[in-house]
A and B are shown apart, each in its own frame.
Chain A
Amino acid sequence: MNLAILTHWDLIMAASLVILLALISRKMQMGIEGQLLLSASRTVIQLLLIGLVLKTIFSNVHLVWITLIAVLMLLMAGREVMARQKYRLTGWWGFGLGTAAMFVSSFSITLIALNVIINVDPWYEPQYAIPLLGMMLGNTMNGISLGQDRLNQAAWEKSAIIEARLMLGWTWSQAISDLRKDSIRSGLMPIINAMAAAGVVSLPGMMTGQILAGSPPMEAVKYQILIMFLIAAGTGFGTLVAVWFGSRRLFDERERLRLERLSVK
């Protein structure tokens, strides 16, 4: 089974469906056509660009290029995590903590996967390294931003309770432990739901892609299971790191709650 190569006409036909939707939206005054067309154009431009980048990297396999693009992806993900917080840590912590958490979880797990599990040669073979890292970053990004956002907002809203516990002689960690637990749970919920629904409610995107590209279904399934586990571990470790250090940062060395370390967007 071979991949059916798409022609320009195939894509233009798909695009005309979106344009039709935009026209109907305009006719019915739904007001969504602007956003729809803009984001559709962004999809075309961004994906064409990344396609060019990947094409270049695939034909010049060099660790420096891979590292460069990996760092760029990390920084973009870090910016995205920060942008999604309503209450964020001030100073470098706002950008640094989420980015560092993604770095330790996504990078280390991608490295383990490439070197130990999939065992490709060279280990930075871009055909594996880039999509794998992209998937890890995309998912840990969700978990970390959900977890951090939940933690910071809860600390802001429940500061009176946290302080009441401090007044009773609780440690900083005891005083915020239930909020931390909730935050970690909300960071992990998407991947837990995805694992629970995989194959029953939805066919995961990567597996769908592989099957469309002509892989035998069982091979696609094995890859999907691998990816699901890597994502779960990466999201879990990343969220743990971000929420733990984030909660510590809300207190100072005298275990006082320091809400001025959060700024409100």
Chain B
Amino acid sequence: MIASMSFFEIKSLQVLNLEPWSCEIAAGECITLTGASGSGKTRLLRAIADLDLHKGDCVLHGDSCKSMSGHEWRRRVGYLTAESQWWHPQVGAHFEKADVKLLKQLGFDEAVMDWRIERMSSGEKQRLALLRMLQQNPDVLLLDEPTANLDQGCTQVIERLVDQQQQQGKAVIWVSHDQQQSGRVSDRHWQIVSGQLLEEVS
């Protein structure tokens, strides 16, 4: 790989009323993103995942988002929402092949695949949704308040797993309301203030 090529690059990305934003993110880095509700955090993540109309571009490993189809891009740039969606009655039907090691680490055994969706708690759903996203082995993880409604134990499990993903060289953009969490997980911090994305220097 060419040394000068950055891992993940955002180029003049613009959505809604946000100012265009450019930056580079290194492999293994975690960036937290805060801002008042309605300031456009989710919009920004959705634009990075190419789920909404936007201006500008994103480049991963030197490959521009525009150079590949939407689904190929989203296979490399995974997006986890605060509330997960399930469409089959059973957990297992949502997985092609669940990673048993990760499953254990998230506090489940293989029997969870036979569980019915309606008897799962929000914490269980969220941990499984993270696992489901990791199936595609994306290089960039976009986490939109993944632990917003979860208890402390559950939050810790998720933080640990994301940290481990970073060790494997994945970049993370994490939207969080929780100051303490932001302090725990972030290498860098972005903030949206009145339509402008600012990088906070610590």
Contacts and interface: CB of A to CB of B under 8 A. Distances in A.
Top 6 A-B pairs, shortest CB-CB distance: A169-B75, A255-B70, A164-B85, A167-B79, A254-B70, A171-B71
Interface of A: 158, 160-161, 163-172, 178, 254-257
B164 interface: no
A19 to B, nearest CB: 54
Interface of B: 49-53, 69-72, 74-76, 78-81, 84-85, 87, 132-133, 135-136, 138
Given A161-B87, A256-B50, A256-B53, A167 B69 contact: no
A169 B72 contact: yes
8 contacts: A160-B85, A169-B75, A169-B136, A254-B70, A255-B69, A255-B71, A256-B52, A256-B70
Contacts of B50: 254, 256
A168 B70 contact: no
A168 B69 contact: no
Given A166-B70, A167-B80, 5 more contacts: A163-B51, A169-B71, A254-B50, A255-B71, A256-B52
Contact of B71 (A158, A164, A166, A257): A166
A164 B51 CA distance: 10
A256 B72 CA distance: 12
The winner among A158, A161, A178, A255 for most chain B CB atoms within 10 A is A255
Nearest to A163: B51
Contact of A167 (B51, B53, B135): B51
A166 B69 CA distance: 12
Nearest to A170: B71
Nearest to A174: B71
B133 A168 contact: yes
Nearest to B51: A256
B51 A166 contact: yes
A166 B81 contact: no
A118 B70 CA distance: 49
Nearest to A159: B85
A156 B36 CA distance: 28
A20 B138 CA distance: 73
Contact of B84 (A164, A172, A178, A254): A164
Nearest to B70: A255
The winner among B50, B75, B80, B85 for most chain A CB atoms within 10 A is B85
A180 to B, nearest CB: 14
B85 A169 contact: no
Nearest to A178: B87
